Amino acid sequence: MAGSSHGHTPAAWTGVIISFIGFCAAGVFMVAANPIGFWASIAVIFLGGIVGLGMKLAGLGMPKESPEMAAARARAAQAQIS
C-alpha cells in the first residue's frame, strides 16, 4: 500500500483523527460510567466519517483513476511478474 499513497490525503487524515478522538473519549466515558458522554463520543466517531467524506467530495481526497491509467498500471504489474 505504501506505493499507492492509499489514505495520504487531508480528507483521510482529518476523518481518522476526528474518529480517533471520539474513540478515545468513548473509552474514557465508558470507564467513567457516563452513558451520555459515551453516546456523544460515538456521535463524534461518525462525525469523523462524515467530515472525511465531505472533504473528499470537496476535492481533498484521492482523485479517481482514469481507465487509461488503470490499464497502464495493470500492464506494468504484468511486466514485473514475467
pLDDT in tens, 55-68: 988 988 887 777 88
pLDDT at 8: 82
Query: Residue-wise over 60-71: b if at least 16 C-beta within 10 A, else e?
Result: ebeeeeeeeeee
Alpha helices by DSSP H, listed for the chain, are 10-31, 35-55, 67-81
Is 60 or 39 the better-scoring residue by pLDDT? 39
Give yes or no for residue 2 having a pLDDT over 60. no
